[in-house]
Amino acid sequence: MYQIDNSTAAATVPASTSEGTPGFFTDGNPATGVAATIMPAEFMNMVMMEIINVLTAAGITPSKSDFTQLLTAIKSVNRQGVTLTDTGSANAYAAANAPALTVLPATGYSQRVNIAHANTGASTYASDGLAAKPVYGLGLQPLQGGELPVGVAVLMYLVQAGVNGGNGAWIIIESLGGASQIAPATKSQHAVTLGQLQNWGSQMFSANGTFNVPAGITMVYVTLCGSGGGGAAYFDVSSAGGGGGGGASGLRVPVAVTPLTAITVTVGVAGTGGQSAGAAGVAGGASSFGALLSAPGGAGGTAAGIGGSGGSGSGSIVAGGIGQAYNPSASSAEQGGSGGGSAFGSGGFGGMRGGTVAPTSGGGFGGGGGGGCRAVGAPGSKGFVLVEWNQQ
């Protein structure tokens, strides 16, 4: 595109004529007496300068031989965008376009604004003196503060049911240096909100207690373990005590609850070892979350050298390990039965060699105690209950 430059061209733009009635070109028709439209210089100047001004805005030097300049200029100008100046105040933003909008735009219309005042809470934006509309984040919720710092932000106008009652709102698409508002996560790869993290919690019970369900929580995840049974005592020379059984366990079992209710939590007490000749170990206590979930404890070992059974399992509850029977090897190496393990603890070792090596207690949580060999039995380890929750 190039501006007319022949010898008959005027050096300055001729004065414009008065506006007439808008119409359309015609070739005319001599047979009917319709004259062809005259192409005045004024019209050609308007077309030429409209194109030249687009090239100038794009920084392109007009050329007589390049017939793609207008297309290139339009692409360039489109990439440049316009950054409007914020003329409002904190939380009440405003800016003006040139030319100004006369009505609120359609959904999807965006404006880039150089924010002059950081927001401290809920905010509005008014373009070209039109009605102020609330500014929301990507979570389609009102701002809370810190989302619009001083700097450039891109706002998109949105009219959608459920957003400001369907009456339109400006949505922050970008805000350099601003806090980002997102929708609450519902899938494993979603970003979580601070509110979701703050509504996550856990409570560990190592003794009996009460769990008070937080407001808004309808599901908790319970991990629990019954306690281990104690190992049996044995003082004769021909046998040894059996090991205690391990407690049953459950891992993050989902349990439906009612908000703001209280649930009794019972933690199984460890079974004690047999303390006198021929005394069996004491069974471990069950750990439970109200009447909603229970993990039985392991049985105590017997003086007859038989190991105690593990806490029974069903559904989401896994049974504990069985205590071992005594090892009737040579009298110098005979051994009491080892305790059964749980998902959270190992069983204790049985005593050996005529009482010279004492049995050991159950390890971790829910481990059965070892049986004595001419000695008292060892206790199992106690149970626990862990409650976790996360408000979506």
On average, the pLDDT of the chain sits at 93
Task: State residue 78 phi and psi, 5-degree precision.
Answer: -65, -35
Half-sphere exposure of 360 (CA within 13 A, CB side): 12
Provide the CA 105 distance to its chain's centre, in angstroms. Answer: 34
- Please state the rounded mean pLDDT for residues 253-260: 96
pLDDT per residue over 304-322, tens digit each?
889 999 999 999 999 999 9
Question: Cα 14 to chain center, whole Å?
Answer: 67
Per-residue confidence (pLDDT) for residue 194, from 0 to 100: 84
Q: Is 144 exposed, middle or buried (0-12, 13-18, 19+ CB in 10 A)?
A: middle
Q: What is the pLDDT of residue 237?
A: 66
- Are 329 and 239 in contact by the 8 Å Cβ rule? The answer is no
Structure tokens at 201: 């919690």
The pLDDT assigned to 327 comes to 78
pLDDT class for 357, splitting at 50, 70, 90? confident
Q: Judge if pTM exceeds 0.85.
A: no
Select, from the ranges 57-61, 133-137, 350-354, 374-378, the one with the highest average predicted confidence (pLDDT): 133-137
